[in-house]
Structure 1
């Protein structure tokens, strides 16, 4: 469309399951957002990567990965509106960086998404568009429904468009087990999958000022509604 507004795009990937799955995910600089050539996938862009190396990796696509995003942001007063940013929220939970991994928490991923949006949104208009499949949308919804409201900020001032697909907006249930499998998952938190249960979903989608309203599963389902996309 002629004259359409160009905004930076932030990619937020989906669920990686256990530590082994997380370790596999973080070896891909693009977090699965594209099928990069093997030579690119096998090399991580870190905060020590030179500007020229980063440029060779990202010049044609403006896809900025990992530490390269911080370097680019620090060295530019404005951000190209046609840039793509990868939210690498699983990095701190991986064992492959030589540091003690941090337990993954969806609210922390949403807070880090706000920080990334601040960096990538330093362009005319400041707002960003977010593209998120699967569980990535729950991270995004936590940002716009809880993190920003808790800070007293209007999500529409930060996020222009949110495109999601294949997202478990209503949680995940099983046809078998008469609810036993869901209760076991939510009680044990196996592989972090309790984020798809009603209690955790309510926690990370509800602003602090409304957490006292927690009630039955029916209230939870009404709270989620049928929303599958959001645009400001």
Structure 2
């Protein structure tokens, strides 16, 4: 199989609030991408080891990328290789040492990104590494940088159509795609101190050029394929110390310390949840979870989506059921996805403990008679990307694990007698699936997918072949039946597709 091309990466940093923060940003060559972290891991026997994350820039350099700095200067006119990392230094103009001292608007930064993409194309193609027809670029952005990318992609006045056509994929870390809320309120539009109104939904609607009021602010509005736009969502508010902890206090626990979980994704785009804070040495950008999701999305071969197709969610025993009839009943769906050998990271983690489990009410799934509704909101558990090149040498299969847990809650007041048979926190279903997928030898064959339920048996046991099915929309998937003695019954549908 011929090697797939890897395109230049343009990194777009996030928001710098004060003049001192802007000066600190512009004084670094990679504008935050160079920060790494070292943490201590202690084994059960007390042995301590250091775990190093060298920073995203160093890790990309180890994958064959290079920056465009030579002898202390940035190469702006000469040829550069296709696998180059370029920093969109849009804050330079705001530093009096480099520019006018005036902070650029989102639109200004977007126009600068458009010009930069065209310049990078000319530099790469002048070196003979790619033709102009072959050239594409990846955009990787943190926080407000993702809004700069969206402004460029969605607002026709903020750049050229020629440059927009060159964008292959977009990856955002912790971007407030639906604005920022503090103490439950969206940042006011009149609050222009330090340009904080950039995160007001009304102002966002203007610079994103979303004119239909019925279209959400977190929509790409048909201007870019959401399938090629990935959102990494942080779920750890406790490690965010900006403003001496005031930010995480105002944003609340259901956030990364600044951006609420529900506001950090684009409609229709794949996303993953990781237990990391908004920024800092232990933040979402400088994390193993972030890097693994980034590289698999940019360079991976396979996309896998998991949907839990429910048949029955059991209710507690009959004597308690009578007392629950007047209550509002809901279910939490938790999922963790990890690859084979991943000791220090998950590709996605949506759990109750991390405040990001999926919630469905019983009324969204079943009618009063207990029958599944035709339009039931079946939980879409995950979208993840896998890379065939990461398989151990000599192994044909790709392997990953999926932890699934389902629990029930009632939330319409307390009932001391309602604890008769049901213990809060009791799981309706919980197990770990080990998935083995062997790619076909050619395009005419099918994948071979097997699984083991590892919580009740060894993961090395003989794999059960997963059966191929076709869903209601005619899309093929492999079906893994899940059920237990409590009456839980569902099918995990795994949708696999070639990714390029």
Could you tell me whether the CA contact under 8 Å between 1:30 and 1:65 is conserved in 2?
no
Is residue 66 of structure 2 the alignment partner of residue 62 of structure 1? yes
For residue 152 of structure 1, report the CA deviation from its aligned partner. 4.6
Is residue 49 of structure 2 the alignment partner of residue 8 of structure 1? no
* Unaligned runs of at least 5 residues, structure 2: 37-60, 125-129, 221-265, 271-296, 299-499
Matches within 5 A, 1:163-182: 163-176=171-184, 179=185, 182=187
The structure with the greater share of residues assigned to helix is 1
How many residues are treated as equivalent by the alignment?
192
Could you tell me whether the CA contact under 8 Å between 1:93 and 1:101 is conserved in 2?
yes
Q: 2:21 — aligned with what?
A: 21
**Cα distance change on mapping 1:221 and 1:120 into 2, 3 Å:** closer
* Unaligned runs of at least 5 residues, structure 1: 37-57
If asked which structure has higher relative contact order (CA below 8 Å, sep 6+), I would say 1
For residue 127 of structure 1, report the CA deviation from its aligned partner. 1.6
Q: 1:143 — aligned with what?
A: 152
**Cα distance change on mapping 1:4 and 1:61 into 2, 3 Å:** closer
The structure with the greater share of residues assigned to strand is 2
| CA distance, structure 1, for counterparts of residue 212 and residue 4 of structure 2 | 42
TM-score calculated relative to the size of structure 1: 0.70
Of the three residues 183, 188, 191, the one matched with 1:188 is: 191
Runs of 4+ in 1 over 3 A off after TM superposition: 65-69, 147-154, 218-225, 227-232
**Cα distance change on mapping 1:8 and 1:148 into 2, 3 Å:** farther
Deviations 1:65-95 (A, max 9, x none): 59944xx24223xx31111000000000113
For residue 116 of structure 1, report the CA deviation from its aligned partner. 1.0
Matches within 5 A, 1:107-118: 107-118=107-118
Q: 1:75 — aligned with what?
A: 78
Q: 2:267 — aligned with what?
A: 226
Task: Indicate the RMSD between aligned Cα atoms, in angstroms.
Answer: 3.3
| CA distance, structure 1, for counterparts of residue 218 and residue 173 of structure 2 | 21
For residue 166 of structure 1, report the CA deviation from its aligned partner. 0.6
| CA distance, structure 1, for counterparts of residue 11 and residue 83 of structure 2 | 13
TM-score calculated relative to the size of structure 2: 0.35
Of the three residues 196, 200, 207, the one matched with 1:197 is: 200
**Cα distance change on mapping 1:158 and 1:115 into 2, 3 Å:** same
